[in-house]
Structure 1
Amino acid sequence: MEINLPPYEIKLREQNGRRQIFDFLRRRYVSLTPEEWVRQHFVHFLIEQKGYPKGLLANEVEQKIGDKKLRCDTLLYNKELRPRMIIEYKAPEIAITQRVFNQITVYNFLLHVDYLIVSNGRQHYCCRMDYEKGEYTFLQDIPHYTEL
């Protein structure tokens, strides 16, 4: 799968006829889907290239709105363990459209974070929320952790 993220030392295995990739945040092997391929590369990119602390990132975080359960692909927490950033992944062949942003916005109604990122491994979009002005700004690049 061609993606626009740096390589890292990937751990793959096959179990019961299914390919799996090691998720070092969840500390276990998970099914290797195109979306998971993007997630694992993006998380390593954040930690290794952008200085994000491994201990403040979590994958597949479940949230509840009434009876409905939502699952955030990746969350970045601040040091007080409040969500600071939501990251949503799509498979490389999935175009990033308004519908994808609508999905992450639903999560943000609940979490009220400072940053939203959407990536399909080829294109990455990051926006900073400004709740006082009721607007958001798309950033040119994914910020380094020290710039958040």
Structure 2
Amino acid sequence: MGQDIHPKLNLPVSDFAVRKRDSKDEIFDTIRNQWLVLTPEEWVRQHMVRYLINHLGYPAGLTAIEKGFDLNGIPYRADIVTYDRSGSALLAVECKAPGIRINQKTFDQIGQYNKVIRAHHLAVTNGLTHYCVSIGERGQWAQADTIPAFAEPEESEGK
């Protein structure tokens, strides 16, 4: 149903539970365990989550979708945040609809979010184009060729 009307993305194809309710397509989010309106951005978000879990090894139990937080007293939500087993953020992802172009404003947005999230890697995607940066010890950004696979931090880190 929904997969026929939503664009093919530059992410692996996944099987999603999709239904029509009140004349709107909905998709089942297995992380939040609920049905959501299938917007173009949600289509990208669900594909990216499946990619992270099924292809890059991020544990579903350590993945949050639309994670709420406050920045300077204003509530925000990060699209996807993955964590290591100690609860530190590894990766934050900002998802846009396929028709939205990724630009500096998108990076500025996730950069602002990361002041609170403090992830080691940031990614932005519209489902067609993906960019990822790694955050260095001094906060400098370095472009990464790919989104990194899940890996626990080295035991020696932070000691």
TM class, shorter-length? over 0.9
Deviations 1:19-44 (A, max 9, x none): 10011000111010001000111111
Q: Tell me which of 38, 55, 61 is aligned to 1:55.
A: 61
Between the aligned partners of 1:127 and 1:143, the Cα distance in structure 2 is: 10
Between the aligned partners of 1:53 and 1:28, the Cα distance in structure 2 is: 19
Structure 1 residue 142 displacement after superposition: 1.4
Deviations 1:66-113 (A, max 9, x none): 431010001101111222211100001111000000100110111221
**What is the root-mean-square deviation of aligned Cα atoms in Å?**
1.4
Structure 2: gaps of 5 or more residues: 1-6, 154-159
The share of aligned pairs that are identical, in percent, is: 37
Contact residue 85 and residue 152 of structure 2 kept, 8 A: no
Partner of 1:140: 145
Q: Tell me which of 128, 144, 151 is aligned to 1:122.
A: 128
Partner of 1:76: 82
Between the aligned partners of 2:51 and 2:132, the Cα distance in structure 1 is: 14
Between the aligned partners of 2:75 and 2:152, the Cα distance in structure 1 is: 32
Deviations 1:111-146 (A, max 9, x none): 2210001010001111100132x4111111111113
Q: What code does the residue aligned with 1:118 have? A: V
Q: List, as ranges, runs of 4+ consecutive aligned residues in structure 1 with deviation greater than 3 Å.
A: none
Greater alpha carbon shift after TM alignment, 136-145 vs 117-126: 136-145
Structure 1: gaps of 5 or more residues: none
Q: Tell me which of 29, 52, 59 is aligned to 1:46.
A: 52
Partner of 2:99: 93
Contact residue 84 and residue 152 of structure 2 kept, 8 A: no
TM-score, structure 2 length as denominator? 0.88
Paired residue total: 147
Q: What code does the residue aligned with 2:150 have? A: Y
Partner of 1:5: 11
Q: What code does the residue aligned with 1:90 have? A: K
2:88 matches 1:107: no
TM-score, structure 1 length as denominator? 0.94
